Amino acid sequence: MAEKTYLIRLGEGARKRHDHKTEKGQVVAFMVQLEVEVEEGVWRPVLRYDCAHDFAHKDRYNP
């Protein structure tokens, strides 16, 4: 199973984390997360889409 991770800066104090796993060219697991910098060098997730419970869903967090 191939795994890829991307970390993309969205501007001052925000970034997107994207992980996915593929098997035979098909995505079998994924996670897309919005993170904010709460203090210099300290990042917290605020929104995540994933399939951690065997179905796609959204989680919200308070940083």
Q: What is the pLDDT of residues 16-33, one digit of tens each?
A: 999 999 999 999 999 999
pLDDT surpassing 90 at residue 56: no
pLDDT > 90? residue 63: no
Could you tell me which residues come within 8 angstroms of residue 31 by beta carbon, excluding any fewer than 6 positions away? 17, 18, 19, 20, 48, 49, 50, 51, 52
Cα-based distances in Å from 56 to 3, 26, 39, 59:
18, 15, 30, 10
C-alpha–C-alpha distance, residues 10 and 35, integer Å:
10
Is residue 44 a contact partner of residue 62, using CB atoms and an 8 Å limit? no
Using one digit for the tens of pLDDT, what is the confidence trace for 28-54? 999 999 999 999 999 999 999 999 888
Q: What is the pTM of this model?
A: 0.81
What is the per-residue DSSP string for 23-40? ETTEEEEEEEEEEEEEET
